[in-house]
Amino acid sequence: MSNSIPEIEDADMMLCVGTNMTECHPIIAVRVKKAVRKGAKLYVVDPRKIPLTEYATGHLPLKLGSDVALFNAMAKVIIDEGLADMEYSEERTEGFEELKKHLEPFTIEYGEEISGVPAKLIRECAIAYASAESAGIYYTLGITEHICGVSNVQSLCNLALITGNLGKRSDGVNPLRGQNNIQGAGDTGALPNNYPGFQSVDDPVSQAKFEKAWGVPMDPHKGITKIAALDHAVDGRIKAMWICGENTLVTDPDVKHTTKALESLDFLVVQDMFLTDTAKLADVVFPAAAFTEVDGFFTNSDRRVQRIRKAANPPGDAMPDWWIIAHVAKRMTNDVHFDYENSEQVFDELASLSPIYAGLNYDRIERGDLAWPVPELDHPGTPILHEGEFLNGKGKLQLLNYVPPSENPDEEYPFYLTTGRRLPTYHSNTMTGRSGGFRILVPNEWLEIHPADAEKLGLEDGDWSKIKSRRGEVITRVAITKTSPRGTVFMSFAFPEEVMTNIVTNPEVDPKTETPEFKVAAVSIVRVEAPTGLGASEPLRANPDVEDPHLG
Ligand SMILES: Nc1nc2c(c(=O)[nH]1)N[C@H]1C(S)=C(S)[C@@H](COP(=O)(O)OP(=O)(O)OC[C@H]3O[C@@H](n4cnc5c(=O)[nH]c(N)nc54)[C@H](O)[C@@H]3O)O[C@H]1N2
Ligand SMILES: Nc1nc2c(c(=O)[nH]1)N[C@H]1C(S)=C(S)[C@@H](COP(=O)(O)OP(=O)(O)OC[C@H]3O[C@@H](n4cnc5c(=O)[nH]c(N)nc54)[C@H](O)[C@@H]3O)O[C@H]1N2
Ligand SMILES: [Mo]
């Protein structure tokens, strides 16, 4: 995030895009609700009527994958109405005139035609965003898990840059990070293109620095993404794989392809807390300790570096992840660099090699209130990025075009399927599925479908249906609800033992990030008889229309 979480409650305007915050980031959503209570405007851009819309000044229910058309139209309104911050644009950005010209065809009428959001509402939202003193953008997977994910994000950056809403309190462009320590994983170099501290692997200065520190030559080439690695497992270029903390078989798109990839490997290692579907395919399984069973550090969504502390002993042979990796590495290389005695030594090495962590140590992160960059030991941290200037010079405005999703409804597959999360379950349910309480809240999967679509298909609430895409098919119950718009259905992926949702999802990726288009697949839906064996008697499910428990 460019800004810190507590600031959100002082925003004057919040633009929440493709983020089902009350279910997926409930703690952050509390700040949004507080801001609304203090009088802030809230606009929600999401195809579905998610619980956050209950608090919204306006809900823009756009068609799947049409964000660029919508945000370009908003940018044009802002410029045409004279609401752009010209001083900021001149001082801190480049390409304003080019953007203005590029946006000429992106009228609000065109925006309406592509996104389905009424032109008037697009205009209202644009004016509210541009006229607010501090307007923050918050987004999550609804815009990144598309073949146009990068363009989607850049179209939001354009809005922030032309209105000067980047670099001060309660504004910014804020991706809410997904898993608890996904930010920390990136910080420590678990990315194909960076050393720890986001230092590029193809930068000779960084290469020299890490060669000196680690005493071995660095590979000067960027690595590949997981998506590419699975493809290479199929084509035989990759023979062995080590999967740490991921249930890849269940959570990657196109399960048939993933299964083939993992089965093609000569050697698979899985490091997990549980014997997951992925771990069952492994030659070696390393039992990992849970976050409550280890000492270490996590970096959260707003870049605050925090200690985690051991509260219980791990069961059986389970060991901390860093310990397992270091011990295998030591046996492979006999390199003394892997002789860490504790997680603090790992942290100190990270800080010594990464300028953004240079001013941190275990004492300084004791209270967990410092956001990186923290370049020196007496530095107070940087809760707000880009204050006064951008690190890389000027903010470049991007000339973006609308690109439709890679699959769109046709006669054979007449519905859009979008997938995501529900509050009581976490991803493949390996963890939440082990708790009885969660099972009461969400006992099984269901397909969320609009009443008009259900009627056309002869479906009644609780009926069983077959959802089929170009990749394969699954069977699940249906829940009739107005949460999803007509023509678009929704499923989670939390019950793989019954409904392997990712059999049907679309493996097409954004060409820059190789993030799959989990958010759009074309599917057909037909009513089927209840399968024997599965949930035999009464259809079990929680009612999705029940009020948001966080209301009020
Ligand atoms: N309870 C719970 N919380 C979680 C998780 C969990 O599994 N369970 N997972 C965590 C992780 S790793 C992540 S990444 C986050 C994900 O957090 P979110 O991204 O908020 O969750 P999703 O449900 O995947 O999808 C978000 C929204 O995108 C909308 N959407 C779909 N297509 C489009 C589109 O084309 N445009 C726009 N504007 N919106 C669209 C969907 O309707 C949905 O409401 O949640 C984190 N928090
Ligand atoms: N259809 C569809 N598919 C999606 C998405 C979607 O929106 N739609 N979203 C995608 C996104 S954003 C994400 S993040 C992925 C999530 O995909 P995964 O990360 O594969 O999902 P999880 O079920 O959370 O699996 C995490 C695994 O880590 C293990 N684990 C937990 N803690 C530790 C630990 O400390 N150490 C080790 N070694 N293991 C641990 C858990 O037991 C679990 O098996 O799913 C992706 N897949
Ligand atoms: Mo995620």
pLDDT at 546 over 60: no
The DSSP annotation for 13-52 comes to EEEEES--HHHHSHHHHHHHHHHHHTT-EEEEE-SS--GG
What is the model's pLDDT at position 534? Answer: 54
Q: How far apart are CA 83 and CA 103, in angstroms?
A: 15
Same domain, 9 and 106: yes
- pLDDT confidence tier of residue 7, bands split at 50, 70 and 90: very high
Same domain, 220 and 109: no
SS (H, E, C) 105-144: CCCHHHHHHHHCCCHHHHHHHHHHHHHCCCEEEEECHHHH
CA of 339 to the centre of ligand 1 (A): 40
pLDDT at 376 over 60: yes
Coil vs helix vs strand at 321: helix
pLDDT at 543 over 60: no
pLDDT at 547 over 50: no
540 or 334: which leads in pLDDT: 334
Query: Are 275 and 524 within 8 A, CB to CB?
Result: no
Q: How far apart are CA 384 and CA 289, in angstroms?
A: 34
What is the model's pLDDT at position 481? Answer: 96
Q: Is residue 521 within 6 Å of ligand 1 at its C-beta? A: no
Same domain, 27 and 122: yes
What is the model's pLDDT at position 533? Answer: 62
Q: Is residue 143 within 6 Å of ligand 1 at its C-beta? A: yes
Query: Are 134 and 10 within 8 A, CB to CB?
Result: yes
Closest ligand 1 atom, CA of 422?
1
**Could you tell me the CATH number of the domain that includes residue 24?**
3.40.228.10
Q: How far apart are CA 290 and CA 284, in angstroms?
A: 19
- pLDDT tens string 174-192: 999 999 999 999 999 999 9
Query: What's the token pair of residue 513?
Result: 């990030």
Total domains present in the chain: 3
Place of tokens 């991706």: 175
Same domain, 190 and 251: yes
Q: How far apart are CA 265 and CA 241, in angstroms?
A: 7
pLDDT at 538 over 50: no
- pLDDT confidence tier of residue 367, bands split at 50, 70 and 90: very high
Q: Is residue 124 within 6 Å of ligand 1 at its C-beta? A: no
CA of 348 to the centre of ligand 1 (A): 34
What is the model's pLDDT at position 505? Answer: 97
H/E segment holding residue 329: helix 321-333
How confident is the model over 103-128, as a mean pLDDT? 98
pLDDT at 549 over 90: no
What is the average pLDDT score of the chain?
94
How confident is the model over 218-245, as a mean pLDDT? 96
Specify if 248 maps to a domain.
yes
pLDDT at 540 over 80: no
- pLDDT tens string 312-330: 999 999 999 999 999 999 9
Same domain, 325 and 222: yes
pTM for the predicted model, two decimal places:
0.95
CA atoms within 13 A on the CB side of 488: 20
Closest ligand to residue 140's CA: 1
Could you tell me whether strands 464-468 and 194-195 are parallel, antiparallel, or unpaired per DSSP bridges? Answer: unpaired
Same domain, 422 and 456: yes
Query: Of 125, 156, 176, at which residue does a domain stop?
Result: 176
Place of tokens 């850049």: 154
Which phi and psi angles does 74 have, rounded to 5°?
-65, -40
- For residue 461, count CB atoms less than 10 angstroms from its CB and return exposed for 0-12, middle for 13-18, buried for 19 or more: middle
pLDDT at 17 over 70: yes
Query: Are 92 and 394 within 8 A, CB to CB?
Result: yes
Specify if 40 maps to a domain.
yes
Range of the domain at 136: 5-176
Nearest residue (by CA) to ligand 2, atom 18, is 246
Same domain, 76 and 108: yes
CA of 307 to the centre of ligand 2 (A): 22
Q: Considering only 67-71, 121-125, 270-274, 442-446, which range has the smallest mean pLDDT?
A: 442-446
- pLDDT tens string 50-69: 999 999 999 999 999 999 99
What is the model's pLDDT at position 539? Answer: 45
Closest ligand to residue 16's CA: 1
- pLDDT confidence tier of residue 531, bands split at 50, 70 and 90: confident
Same domain, 120 and 169: yes
CA of 313 to the centre of ligand 2 (A): 23
Same domain, 115 and 192: no
Same domain, 64 and 203: no
Same domain, 166 and 298: no
What is the model's pLDDT at position 537? Answer: 41
Same domain, 197 and 165: no
Q: Over the Cα atoms of the chain, what is R_g?
A: 24
